[in-house]
Structure 1
Amino acid sequence: MKDEMHSLVSLSFPCFTCGEVTDEMILSFPNLQNLSCIVVKPINASTDSSPFFAFESLCKLESLNISYYGKVLKAGELNFPSSIKKLTLSNFQLPWSHISVIGRLPNLEVLKLKSKTFEGPSWTTEEEHFLNLKCLKLDTLNIVHWNASGDHFSRLQQLIVRKCEQLEEIPLDIASISTLQIIEVHQCRKSVEDSVRRIEEEDIEGLKIFIKSSHSVV
């Protein structure tokens, strides 16, 4: 059994409770590359007694999908191994200031932020973050203003925005990203669709625009 755990490369949909996962348990999966899981932190848990799952110890992990439930995490609790290439997060309800931990991941190529992972009206991206990101998906977030420069996503190829019903527009400077191939907008405000159409009017070679409207979103 121990040999099987050591050789395991993919694990789907276990449920971990913060504080119950020990370093010894983590080291039982030294070759894990793909993990989809649920993490629960009880509301009455203290930060000291129930730390967040130590994903940074999985040094070969490349794909990680977490649905989180429970007590809101504090700064410093959320950490990932530098090996991560694909990251999908749901339900964390974190302030946008916490996203710097993700932005600094050197090998991250795909990032999907879903279902209230980050909350707050404004996200301002920073220089030297997301240097290798190729695909970004924002799904069901309450963001209103997204301040971004094309310099901040210099290798982005695909942008997907879905059901961000309060977002006012896609930053027009996104159009300056030379690697960008696809922008998809699904069920967002008309002003978001209009901003994407303004990008489309730039007639950028190789860039494809897909818009799926929702009549219920003004």
Structure 2
Amino acid sequence: MSTEIALLVELRYLALQGTFDSVPPTISDLLNLETLIIKGKDVELPYNIWSTLKLRVLYISSCWFLNSSLAHNSLERPSGLYNLDTFSTLELCFGQSLEKIIRQLPNIRKLKCLLSKSIESNADCNGIVALDFMSRLESLNLTRGYPSGCEVELIERCHIVFRFPGNLKKLTLSNMHSSIIPKGGELPNLVVLKLIDIYFEEDIWDMNEDWEFPELKFLELANLSIVRWSGGSNDHFPYLQKLVLRACSSLEEVPSCLGDITTLQMIEVHKCGKSVVSLGLKIKEDQKNNWGIEDIHVLTSDIYDTDDA
């Protein structure tokens, strides 16, 4: 990538796409830069990106891997990224000081992270990560990455507990153990929850275990191997409006309380067997029988015969 771009000192928006593997340190000379979009594979950013004072949006199509030396050198000094609002995607490894790194983003509102661990690593993938100090964070996407060929036993062994900020409105969790799902009304303002490739022991999600989402309006379950989603009451998500079931082919039971949530407007079923579709239709039937509600929509796509799965 040419260093001449740093001469455009009035630049506020910069989008880069190509086969380059690094961004020159002179990027920090763009003192007015507010949006930086990078579309490339394994692009390395310079350490002084932390001092880009006006940067508000940083988007990297793959991931920005923050290696140990970069973390040590850049995190020992105050961050200049106090204006950063949106950051996607930051890759972090277990064993790094996750809290210390994220504290460099004091006013972040939208954050997407990939948490990775090599199979040879001795880094502890169990513990507590406190994020509750992030008072402005509204949208958080956490994905745990594993090396190709990784066995499910590694997912089972890795239990990280996150202390999420109570102001979160949107949370996406991917490829993690079910212990990461917030409980007990920890997120009173959560509106959107997406659970993707979450591992549940014994293939059961029992809502009686104190999961409560008092403001939740959108819930998506994708690529889950659970057979039973049970328990709970309409107090667990009293304002739910949309439920999405995607690639949950083993699902045989959903909470009966879904038939009593009068705010529910739509159920989507994608890439599932007909038996899962029947669960959605049963919720619709219960709504009609219990409350006289007939305008719930059940949308389906890529449905297959259960016997053919």
TM-score, length-normalised on structure 1? 0.84
Q: Distance in 2 between matches of 1:172 and 1:22?
A: 39
Quick one: structure 1 residues 2 and 27, their matched pair in 2 at CA, closer, same or farther if it must change by over 3 Å? farther
Residue 73 (str. 1) matches residue 158 (str. 2): yes
What's the CA shift string for 1:170-210, capped at 9, x where partnerless? 33430210111111111223222122223333432432111
Q: 2:135 — aligned with what? A: 59
Over aligned residue pairs, what C-alpha RMSD do you find?
2.6
| 2:163 aligned counterpart, secondary structure | coil
Quick one: structure 1 residues 73 and 212, their matched pair in 2 at CA, closer, same or farther if it must change by over 3 Å? same
How many residues are paired up? Answer: 213
Which of the pair has the greater relative contact order for Cα pairs under 8 Å at 6+ separation? Answer: 1
What's the CA shift string for 1:8-60, capped at 9, x where partnerless? 01001121112323644322211100011211134433439x85654333221
What's the CA shift string for 1:116-159, capped at 9, x where partnerless? 22323111113571111111000000000011432321111110
| Residue pairs, 1:146-161, within 5 angstroms | 146-148=229-231, 149-161=233-245
Q: Distance in 1 between matches of 2:86 and 2:280?
A: 38
Given that residues 187 and 217 in structure 1 are in contact (C-alpha distance below 8 angstroms), is that contact kept between their aligned partners in structure 2?
no
| 1:83 aligned counterpart, secondary structure | coil
One of 194, 210, 214 as aligned partner of 2:299: 210
Q: 1:32 — aligned with what? A: 108
Residue 106 (str. 1) matches residue 183 (str. 2): no
Given that residues 162 and 187 in structure 1 are in contact (C-alpha distance below 8 angstroms), is that contact kept between their aligned partners in structure 2?
yes
Given that residues 167 and 189 in structure 1 are in contact (C-alpha distance below 8 angstroms), is that contact kept between their aligned partners in structure 2?
no
Residue 142 (str. 1) matches residue 225 (str. 2): yes
Q: Distance in 1 between matches of 2:98 and 2:269?
A: 41
Q: Distance in 2 between matches of 1:189 and 1:29?
A: 43
| 2:304 aligned counterpart, secondary structure | coil
Q: 2:122 — aligned with what? A: 45
Quick one: structure 1 residues 101 and 42, their matched pair in 2 at CA, closer, same or farther if it must change by over 3 Å? farther
Cα distance, 1:109 vs structure 2 = 0.9
| 2:82 aligned counterpart, secondary structure | helix
Cα distance, 1:73 vs structure 2 = 2.9
TM-score, length-normalised on structure 2? 0.61
Quick one: structure 1 residues 170 and 25, their matched pair in 2 at CA, closer, same or farther if it must change by over 3 Å? closer
Q: 2:94 — aligned with what? A: 18
Report percent identity of matched pairs: 35
Stretches of structure 2 lacking an aligned partner (at least 5 in a row): 1-50, 55-80, 147-153
Amino acid at match of 1:32: I
Q: 1:173 — aligned with what? A: 257
Q: 2:276 — aligned with what? A: 192
Given that residues 193 and 211 in structure 1 are in contact (C-alpha distance below 8 angstroms), is that contact kept between their aligned partners in structure 2?
yes
Given that residues 83 and 107 in structure 1 are in contact (C-alpha distance below 8 angstroms), is that contact kept between their aligned partners in structure 2?
yes
Q: 1:182 — aligned with what? A: 266
One of 184, 198, 209 as aligned partner of 1:117: 198
